Chains A and B, each alone.
Chain A
Amino acid sequence: MPYRFELLDAARHNRAGFQSAAGALNAYLQQQARKDADRHLAATFVMVDDAAPTVIVGFYTLSNYTVELAELPADLARKLPRYPRLPATLIGRLARDDRFPGTGALLLVDALARAYVQTKVSGSLAVVAEAKDDTALRFYGKHGFVQLGAEPNRVYLAMGTVEQLVRSAG
Protein backbone atom coordinates (compact mmCIF):
# COMPACT_ATOMS: atom_id res chain seq x y z
CA MET A 1 0.00 0.00 0.00
CA PRO A 2 -0.90 2.54 -1.18
CA TYR A 3 -2.47 1.19 -4.33
CA ARG A 4 -2.81 2.86 -7.68
CA PHE A 5 -4.66 2.11 -10.91
CA GLU A 6 -3.15 1.94 -14.38
CA LEU A 7 -4.18 0.86 -17.84
CA LEU A 8 -3.02 -2.69 -18.43
CA ASP A 9 0.47 -2.68 -19.93
CA ALA A 10 1.39 -6.14 -21.15
CA ALA A 11 5.09 -5.27 -21.14
CA ARG A 12 5.11 -4.16 -17.52
CA HIS A 13 2.36 -5.96 -15.58
CA ASN A 14 2.80 -9.61 -14.65
CA ARG A 15 -0.38 -11.11 -16.04
CA ALA A 16 0.83 -14.69 -15.65
CA GLY A 17 1.16 -14.24 -11.90
CA PHE A 18 -2.44 -13.18 -11.40
CA GLN A 19 -4.47 -15.84 -9.55
CA SER A 20 -8.12 -15.35 -8.70
CA ALA A 21 -10.60 -18.07 -7.82
CA ALA A 22 -12.18 -17.67 -11.23
CA GLY A 23 -10.11 -19.44 -13.84
CA ALA A 24 -12.00 -17.79 -16.68
CA LEU A 25 -11.06 -14.34 -15.40
CA ASN A 26 -7.40 -15.36 -15.03
CA ALA A 27 -7.45 -16.62 -18.60
CA TYR A 28 -9.11 -13.44 -19.80
CA LEU A 29 -6.43 -11.25 -18.23
CA GLN A 30 -3.61 -13.43 -19.47
CA GLN A 31 -4.82 -14.15 -22.99
CA GLN A 32 -7.55 -11.78 -24.09
CA ALA A 33 -7.43 -8.42 -22.30
CA ARG A 34 -4.62 -6.95 -24.38
CA LYS A 35 -6.26 -8.06 -27.63
CA ASP A 36 -9.56 -6.48 -26.57
CA ALA A 37 -7.74 -3.24 -25.79
CA ASP A 38 -5.96 -3.29 -29.15
CA ARG A 39 -9.33 -3.72 -30.90
CA HIS A 40 -10.94 -1.02 -28.74
CA LEU A 41 -13.51 -3.51 -27.40
CA ALA A 42 -12.74 -3.03 -23.72
CA ALA A 43 -10.24 -1.12 -21.62
CA THR A 44 -8.58 -3.06 -18.79
CA PHE A 45 -7.47 -1.24 -15.67
CA VAL A 46 -5.22 -2.93 -13.14
CA MET A 47 -4.65 -2.14 -9.49
CA VAL A 48 -1.03 -2.38 -8.37
CA ASP A 49 0.76 -1.88 -5.10
CA ASP A 50 3.20 1.02 -5.14
CA ALA A 51 5.83 -1.22 -3.55
CA ALA A 52 5.52 -3.92 -6.21
CA PRO A 53 4.11 -2.24 -9.31
CA THR A 54 4.42 -5.25 -11.62
CA VAL A 55 2.11 -7.37 -9.44
CA ILE A 56 -1.54 -7.15 -10.45
CA VAL A 57 -3.68 -6.98 -7.30
CA GLY A 58 -6.89 -6.87 -9.31
CA PHE A 59 -8.38 -5.69 -12.57
CA TYR A 60 -11.60 -4.59 -14.22
CA THR A 61 -12.74 -3.84 -17.73
CA LEU A 62 -14.90 -1.01 -19.02
CA SER A 63 -16.76 -0.69 -22.30
CA ASN A 64 -19.80 1.03 -23.71
CA TYR A 65 -23.26 -0.44 -23.23
CA THR A 66 -26.75 0.25 -24.54
CA VAL A 67 -30.10 -0.12 -22.80
CA GLU A 68 -32.95 -0.29 -25.29
CA LEU A 69 -36.28 0.94 -23.98
CA ALA A 70 -39.79 -0.06 -24.86
CA GLU A 71 -42.40 2.65 -25.23
CA LEU A 72 -42.70 4.57 -21.98
CA PRO A 73 -45.84 5.83 -20.27
CA ALA A 74 -46.49 9.45 -21.28
CA ASP A 75 -45.63 10.89 -17.85
CA LEU A 76 -42.18 9.30 -17.95
CA ALA A 77 -41.56 9.93 -21.63
CA ARG A 78 -41.96 13.67 -21.03
CA LYS A 79 -39.05 13.63 -18.58
CA LEU A 80 -36.46 12.08 -20.87
CA PRO A 81 -35.17 12.96 -24.32
CA ARG A 82 -36.87 10.72 -26.86
CA TYR A 83 -34.03 8.30 -27.21
CA PRO A 84 -35.05 4.66 -27.50
CA ARG A 85 -31.46 3.67 -26.71
CA LEU A 86 -29.75 4.94 -23.60
CA PRO A 87 -25.98 4.89 -23.16
CA ALA A 88 -24.41 3.14 -20.18
CA THR A 89 -21.02 1.85 -19.09
CA LEU A 90 -20.31 -1.86 -18.70
CA ILE A 91 -18.06 -3.41 -16.08
CA GLY A 92 -17.59 -6.59 -18.05
CA ARG A 93 -15.09 -8.24 -15.72
CA LEU A 94 -13.81 -7.49 -12.24
CA ALA A 95 -11.55 -9.72 -10.19
CA ARG A 96 -8.95 -9.55 -7.45
CA ASP A 97 -6.02 -11.83 -6.81
CA ASP A 98 -6.79 -14.30 -3.98
CA ARG A 99 -3.74 -13.06 -2.08
CA PHE A 100 -5.33 -9.62 -1.63
CA PRO A 101 -8.65 -10.10 0.19
CA GLY A 102 -10.84 -7.05 0.65
CA THR A 103 -9.64 -5.26 -2.47
CA GLY A 104 -12.68 -6.07 -4.64
CA ALA A 105 -14.58 -3.05 -3.31
CA LEU A 106 -11.63 -0.78 -4.17
CA LEU A 107 -11.76 -2.08 -7.73
CA LEU A 108 -15.49 -1.39 -7.87
CA VAL A 109 -15.14 2.17 -6.54
CA ASP A 110 -12.42 2.96 -9.06
CA ALA A 111 -14.53 1.57 -11.90
CA LEU A 112 -17.51 3.67 -10.81
CA ALA A 113 -15.46 6.82 -10.35
CA ARG A 114 -13.82 6.35 -13.74
CA ALA A 115 -17.19 5.75 -15.40
CA TYR A 116 -18.52 8.94 -13.81
CA VAL A 117 -15.54 11.01 -14.97
CA GLN A 118 -16.05 9.68 -18.49
CA THR A 119 -19.59 11.12 -18.58
CA LYS A 120 -17.95 14.51 -19.08
CA VAL A 121 -16.82 13.41 -22.54
CA SER A 122 -19.28 10.62 -23.43
CA GLY A 123 -22.79 10.20 -22.08
CA SER A 124 -23.64 7.35 -19.72
CA LEU A 125 -26.72 7.09 -17.53
CA ALA A 126 -25.87 3.97 -15.57
CA VAL A 127 -23.13 1.51 -14.78
CA VAL A 128 -24.04 -2.04 -15.75
CA ALA A 129 -22.12 -5.01 -14.37
CA GLU A 130 -21.92 -8.58 -15.58
CA ALA A 131 -21.97 -10.89 -12.54
CA LYS A 132 -20.32 -14.22 -13.33
CA ASP A 133 -21.91 -16.13 -10.44
CA ASP A 134 -24.01 -15.82 -7.27
CA THR A 135 -21.05 -14.59 -5.23
CA ALA A 136 -20.55 -11.75 -7.68
CA LEU A 137 -24.28 -11.01 -7.65
CA ARG A 138 -24.21 -10.70 -3.86
CA PHE A 139 -21.15 -8.46 -4.10
CA TYR A 140 -22.85 -6.07 -6.49
CA GLY A 141 -26.15 -6.23 -4.59
CA LYS A 142 -24.43 -5.30 -1.34
CA HIS A 143 -23.09 -2.20 -3.08
CA GLY A 144 -26.51 -1.11 -4.31
CA PHE A 145 -26.74 -2.64 -7.78
CA VAL A 146 -30.14 -3.96 -8.87
CA GLN A 147 -31.14 -6.37 -11.59
CA LEU A 148 -31.38 -5.00 -15.11
CA GLY A 149 -34.51 -6.22 -16.84
CA ALA A 150 -35.00 -9.96 -17.05
CA GLU A 151 -31.32 -10.86 -17.18
CA PRO A 152 -30.43 -12.38 -13.81
CA ASN A 153 -26.68 -11.85 -14.11
CA ARG A 154 -26.81 -8.26 -15.31
CA VAL A 155 -27.15 -5.54 -12.68
CA TYR A 156 -26.87 -1.77 -12.72
CA LEU A 157 -26.42 1.34 -10.64
CA ALA A 158 -27.80 4.71 -11.78
CA MET A 159 -25.10 7.24 -12.65
CA GLY A 160 -26.94 9.67 -10.38
CA THR A 161 -26.09 7.41 -7.44
CA VAL A 162 -22.44 7.29 -8.53
CA GLU A 163 -22.44 11.07 -8.79
CA GLN A 164 -23.71 11.36 -5.20
CA LEU A 165 -20.93 9.04 -4.09
CA VAL A 166 -18.15 10.90 -5.86
CA ARG A 167 -19.43 14.32 -4.77
CA SER A 168 -19.63 13.19 -1.16
CA ALA A 169 -15.84 13.53 -1.15
CA GLY A 170 -16.35 17.30 -1.31
Chain B
Amino acid sequence: MEAAGLTGHSSVSSYIVQTLQDSASRTVQQARRTQLDAAESAAFVQSLLAPSAPAPALQAAFACYREQVR
Protein backbone atom coordinates (compact mmCIF):
# COMPACT_ATOMS: atom_id res chain seq x y z
CA MET B 1 0.00 0.00 0.00
CA GLU B 2 2.80 2.37 0.94
CA ALA B 3 4.71 1.62 -2.26
CA ALA B 4 1.59 2.29 -4.33
CA GLY B 5 1.13 5.65 -2.63
CA LEU B 6 4.77 6.64 -2.95
CA THR B 7 4.67 6.00 -6.70
CA GLY B 8 1.52 8.04 -7.21
CA HIS B 9 -0.93 5.19 -7.73
CA SER B 10 -4.46 5.62 -6.47
CA SER B 11 -4.92 1.88 -5.86
CA VAL B 12 -2.84 -1.19 -5.09
CA SER B 13 -4.20 -2.94 -8.17
CA SER B 14 -3.02 -0.20 -10.54
CA TYR B 15 0.38 -0.32 -8.81
CA ILE B 16 0.56 -4.11 -9.32
CA VAL B 17 -0.44 -3.87 -12.99
CA GLN B 18 2.17 -1.16 -13.61
CA THR B 19 4.85 -3.14 -11.79
CA LEU B 20 4.09 -6.27 -13.82
CA GLN B 21 4.16 -4.29 -17.06
CA ASP B 22 7.50 -2.73 -16.13
CA SER B 23 8.91 -6.15 -15.27
CA ALA B 24 7.67 -7.63 -18.56
CA SER B 25 9.16 -4.73 -20.48
CA ARG B 26 12.55 -5.22 -18.76
CA THR B 27 12.45 -8.92 -19.58
CA VAL B 28 11.73 -8.20 -23.24
CA GLN B 29 14.52 -5.61 -23.40
CA GLN B 30 17.01 -8.06 -21.87
CA ALA B 31 15.99 -10.73 -24.37
CA ARG B 32 16.64 -8.30 -27.19
CA ARG B 33 20.29 -7.57 -26.50
CA THR B 34 23.59 -9.30 -26.06
CA GLN B 35 26.55 -7.87 -24.21
CA LEU B 36 29.91 -9.04 -25.54
CA ASP B 37 33.25 -9.07 -23.74
CA ALA B 38 36.41 -7.69 -25.36
CA ALA B 39 37.40 -10.85 -27.24
CA GLU B 40 33.82 -11.53 -28.37
CA SER B 41 33.45 -7.91 -29.48
CA ALA B 42 36.62 -8.10 -31.57
CA ALA B 43 35.50 -11.35 -33.23
CA PHE B 44 32.04 -9.94 -33.90
CA VAL B 45 33.38 -6.73 -35.45
CA GLN B 46 35.89 -8.67 -37.56
CA SER B 47 33.04 -10.76 -38.96
CA LEU B 48 31.12 -7.61 -39.86
CA LEU B 49 34.10 -5.99 -41.54
CA ALA B 50 34.95 -9.10 -43.56
CA PRO B 51 31.67 -11.01 -43.94
CA SER B 52 31.97 -14.58 -45.10
CA ALA B 53 30.41 -15.78 -48.34
CA PRO B 54 26.96 -17.34 -47.96
CA ALA B 55 27.15 -20.99 -46.93
CA PRO B 56 26.42 -23.53 -49.70
CA ALA B 57 23.22 -24.60 -47.93
CA LEU B 58 22.04 -21.00 -47.80
CA GLN B 59 22.81 -20.50 -51.48
CA ALA B 60 20.86 -23.65 -52.30
CA ALA B 61 17.95 -22.46 -50.15
CA PHE B 62 17.99 -19.13 -51.96
CA ALA B 63 17.79 -20.90 -55.33
CA CYS B 64 14.78 -22.91 -54.10
CA TYR B 65 13.22 -19.75 -52.75
CA ARG B 66 13.46 -18.04 -56.11
CA GLU B 67 11.70 -21.00 -57.72
CA GLN B 68 8.98 -21.57 -55.15
CA VAL B 69 8.11 -18.16 -53.67
CA ARG B 70 6.53 -15.36 -55.57
A-B contact count (CB 8 A): 136
Main SS class of interface, B: helix
- With A76-B42, A159-B51 as known contacts, state yes or no: A165 contacts B34, CB within 8 Å: no
In the assembled complex, which residues on chain A have CB atoms less than 8 Å from the CB atom of B42? 72-73, 76
Bound-state Cα–Cα, A63 to B48, Å: 20
Q: How far is the CA of A120 from the CA of B28 in the complex (A)?
A: 25
Interface SS of chain A: helix, strand, loop or mixed? mixed
Q: A72-B42, A161-B53 are in contact. Are A168 and B62 (CB under 8 A)?
A: yes
- In the complex the two chains form, what is the Cα distance from A162 to B49 in whole Å? 13
Number of chain A residues close to chain B: CB under 8 A: 54
**Least CB separation from B55: chain A residue:** A144
Residues of B at under 8 Å CB distance from A?
28, 32-38, 40-42, 44-49, 51-55, 57-62, 64-66, 68-70
